[in-house]
């Protein structure tokens, strides 16, 4: 079977790499892909927003399965579009993807079904949102309702900052229509981690826990990025807490789907905060995380094509995945200046040497005259496995040091929290 992966990040390189290992996979296509996916299969220069052209590709190449990476394609209804034309595709429909594309939808669902989350208010009127600030405790979190490239969350230290956030999101529309409505919620202190679950509409299976590092600089300082590195497992999610993820998050989530007649098939990835009062859901994502996928898929021993098909067919209960006991750590190397303004077209050296001892998942990269150059903010993820997190971390950094490009920056403390939990 031929398989199409939609997207162009490190996540999509990891997906393409893992799918290609399946004996059932004849060829991988990637739209639009990057320099890394070009080494696994065939890149096709089609925009992820051009559903017609993507269907055209599937039909002309006789592609039997499409796997979607990015949230905006799901929120835009790519799955509905493919399904209406009889094509097999992995991911939730537009209606089911609202768990990610509307924070208000997700929060109200959690409230209806008793899933622990921060106390919140929801507003479509800036005046009312401002009035709500009276008497609140700070910090307070102001979130655009819709998708905002991971930037629509503002942690306001005091009332003035909260007012500025409301103005930015709702009045100046910094994130466009995503800011027509906002959620204002209680600030939660604790350690963040996440868990990925495959959901087939009836059952779910949990993947191992993972921890992202969203801040740009060491010590969780600086602006938020798409993710500067990850490790799996996340020791903060103890077996006892993992059991609570099942009983307090996933079981009520599945019961809520049934009660409301929502068919969710795909990947559900709740972002979690482990607080002194227990675990709380920060958000739901409806697709594989990036860079989390770059530590989870190397740990997956089972065939990813089988798992994805079982998710689409509602037969996950018969296909429990098997996981490698070893730990995995991924360090993201980014362009200088990211997540702000950065330069592109910087030649990358040392990739072959680093690949001798680590897995390289390329992201913002392109090929120029046979050489690999930078073409985005997050340039590549360097993943290593080890008997424990320390060994994986050391191996990942040893490989990172072999890669260079002008202006490269990466965090030196990926997995440090996992080694010394708070
Ligand atoms: P979200 O997109 O909702 O996950 O928010 C992005 C990031 O903002 C999260 O990964 C957290 O680091 C932070 N965040 C979101 N909500 C809260 C909250 N209620 N309390 C503290 N931090 C939060
Ligand atoms: N790692 C953050 C995300 O994928 O949303």
Q: What is the pLDDT of residues 189-204, one digit of tens each?
A: 999 999 999 999 999 9
Atom of ligand 1 nearest to the CA of 118: 19
pLDDT of amino acid 68 = 98
Say yes or no: CB of residue 192 within 6 Å of ligand 2: no
Q: Is 289 in the pocket of ligand 2 (CB under 6 A)?
A: yes
Ligand 1 atom with the smallest distance to the CA of 103 is 3
The least confident of 26-40, 145-159, 355-369 is 145-159
Which residue owns the Cα nearest ligand 1 atom 13? 153
Q: Is the pLDDT of residue 263 over 70?
A: yes
**What residue owns the CA closest to ligand 1's atom 9?**
282
Q: Which residues contact 336 (CB under 8 A, 6 or more apart)?
A: 342, 343, 406, 407, 408, 409
pLDDT for the residue numbered 43? 97
Ligand of minimum distance to the alpha carbon of 183: 1
Q: Which residue minimizes the CA distance to atom 15 of ligand 1? A: 282
Using DSSP bridges, classify how beta strands 2-7 and 27-32 pair: parallel, antiparallel or unpaired. parallel
Task: Name the burial class of residue 304, with classes exposed (0-12), middle (13-18) and buried (19+) by CB atoms within 10 angstroms of its CB.
Answer: buried
Any bridge partners for residue 117, and if so which? 281
Atom of ligand 2 at shortest distance to CA of 11? 4
C-alpha 413 chain-centroid distance: 20
Residue 54 in this model has a pLDDT that exceeds 80: yes
Confidence of residue 3 (pLDDT cuts 50, 70, 90): very high
Instruction: List residues near ligand 1 (CB under 6 A).
Output: 118, 141, 143, 153, 155, 185-188, 192, 214, 271, 282-283
d(C-alpha 317, C-alpha 109), whole Å: 25
Band the pLDDT of 361: cuts 50, 70, 90.
very high
Coil, strand or helix at 376: coil
Which ligand is in closest contact with the Cα of 150?
1
Give the HSE-up count for residue 97: Cα atoms under 13 Å, Cβ half-sphere: 23
pLDDT exceeds cutoff 70 at 282:
yes
Q: Is the CB of 212 under 6 A from ligand 2?
A: yes
The pLDDT, as a whole number, for residue 149 is 81
Question: Taking 90 as the threshold, does the pLDDT of residue 420 lie above it?
Answer: no
Ligand 1 pocket test, pick from 162, 165, 271, 277 with the greatest ligand atom count within 8 Å of Cβ, gives 271
pLDDT value, residue 150: 76
Q: Which residues contact 170 (CB under 8 A, 6 or more apart)?
A: 123, 126, 129, 179, 180, 182
User: With contact defined as beta carbons under 8 Å apart, do 71 and 100 qualify?
Assistant: yes
Q: Cα–Cα distance between 73 and 64 in angstroms, integer?
A: 19
Q: What is the mean pLDDT of residues 88-109?
A: 98
The answer to whether the bond into 291 is cis (omega within 30° of 0) is yes
Percent of the chain with pLDDT over 70: 100
Is this model's pTM higher than 0.95 or not? yes
pLDDT in tens, 312-352: 999 999 999 999 999 999 999 999 999 999 999 999 999 99
What is the predicted pLDDT for the residue at 202?
Answer: 95
Mean pLDDT (whole number) for 408-417: 97
Q: Is the CB of residue 70 below 6 angstroms from any atom belonging to ligand 2?
A: no
Kindly tell me if the per-residue pLDDT of 23 is higher than 80: yes
CA 101 to the chain's CA centroid: 13
Ligand 2 contact via 12 beta carbon (within 6 Å)? no
Q: Give the up-direction half-sphere exposure of residue 67: CA atoms within 13 A in the CB hemisphere.
A: 30
275 confidence band (pLDDT: 50, 70, 90): very high
Residue 422 has pLDDT above 90, yes or no: no
Asked if pLDDT for residue 38 goes beyond 80, the answer is yes
pLDDT digits (tens, 9 = 90+) for 9-22: 999 999 999 999 99
- Tokens, residue 357: 């001892």
- Say if residue 207's pLDDT is above 70: yes
Which residues is 184 bridged to in the sheet? 121, 142
Tell me what pLDDT residue 421 has.
Answer: 53
Ligand with the closest atom to the CA of 99: 1
Reading the block at residue 409, the tokens are 């920056």
Q: Name the residue among 390, 267, 400, 379 with its Cα closest to residue 328.
A: 390
Mutate to test the pocket of ligand 2, among 103, 194, 227 (most ligand atoms within 8 A of CB): 227
Mean pLDDT along residues 359-367? 97
Nearest CA to ligand 2 atom 3: 289
Give the Cα separation of 355 and 130 in Å (integer): 52
153 CA to middle of ligand 1, Å?
Answer: 7
Round the average pLDDT of the chain to a whole number and report it: 96
Sign of the C-alpha dihedral, residues 342, 348, 354, 356?
A: positive
Q: What is the DSSP string of 244-307?
A: HIIIIIIHHHHHHHHHHT----EEEEEEEEEETTEEEEEEEESS--TTHHHHHGGGB-S-HHHH
What pLDDT shows up at residue 151? 81
Q: What ligand is nearest to the CA atom of residue 140?
A: 1
Extract the tokens encoding 217.
């600089």
Beta strands in 304-350, from DSSP E residues, in sequence order: 327-334
How would DSSP label each residue in 161-187?
HHHHHHIIIIIS-TTGGGGSSEEEEE-
């Amino acid at each position: 079977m031929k398989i199409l992966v939609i997207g162009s990040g490190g996540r999509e390189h990891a997906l393409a790499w893992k799918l290609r290992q399946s004996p059932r996979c004849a060829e991988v296509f990637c739209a639009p892909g990057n320099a890394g996916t070009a080494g696994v299969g065939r890149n096709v220069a089609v925009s992820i927003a051009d559903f017609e052209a993507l269907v055209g590709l599937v039909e002309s190449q006789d592609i039997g399965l499409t796997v979607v990476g990015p949230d905006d394609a799901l929120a835009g209804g790519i799955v509905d579009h493919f399904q209406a034309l009889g094509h097999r595709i992995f991911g939730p429909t537009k209606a089911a993807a609202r768990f990610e594309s509307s924070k208000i939808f997700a929060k109200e669902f959690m409230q209806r079904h008793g899933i622990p989350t921060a106390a919140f208010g929801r507003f479509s009127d800036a005046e009312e949102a401002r009035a709500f600030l009276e008497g609140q405790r700070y910090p307070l979190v102001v979130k655009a309702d819709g998708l905002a490239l991971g930037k629509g969350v503002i942690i306001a230290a005091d009332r003035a900052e909260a007012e500025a956030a409301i103005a930015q999101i709702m009045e100046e529309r910094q994130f466009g229509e995503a800011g027509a409505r906002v959620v204002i919620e209680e600030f939660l202190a604790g350690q963040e981690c996440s868990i990925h679950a495959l959901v087939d509409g009836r059952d779910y299976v949990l993947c191992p826990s993972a921890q992202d590092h969203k801040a740009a600089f060491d010590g969780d300082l600086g602006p938020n990025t798409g993710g500067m590195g990850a490790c799996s497992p996340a020791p903060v999610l103890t077996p006892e807490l993992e059991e609570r993820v099942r009983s307090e998050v996933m079981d009520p989530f599945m019961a809520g789907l049934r009660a409301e007649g929502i068919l969710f098939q795909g990947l559900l990835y709740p972002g979690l905060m482990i607080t002194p009062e227990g675990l709380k859901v920060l958000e739901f994502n409806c697709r594989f995380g990036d860079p989390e996928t770059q530590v989870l898929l190397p740990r997956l021993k089972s065939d990813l094509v089988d798992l994805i098909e079982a998710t689409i067919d509602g037969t996950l209960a018969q296909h429990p995945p098997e996981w490698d006991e070893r730990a995995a750590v991924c360090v993201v190397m980014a362009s200088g200046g990211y997540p702000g303004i950065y330069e592109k077209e910087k030649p990358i050296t040392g990739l072959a040497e680093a690949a001798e001892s680590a897995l390289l998942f390329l992201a913002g990269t392109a090929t120029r005259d046979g050489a690999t150059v930078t073409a985005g903010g997050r340039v590549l993820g360097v993943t290593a496995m080890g008997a424990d997190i320390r060994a994986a971390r050391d191996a990942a950094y040893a490989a990172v040091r072999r890669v260079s490009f002008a202006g490269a920056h990466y965090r030196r403390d990926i997995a440090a929290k996992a080694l010394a939990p708070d």
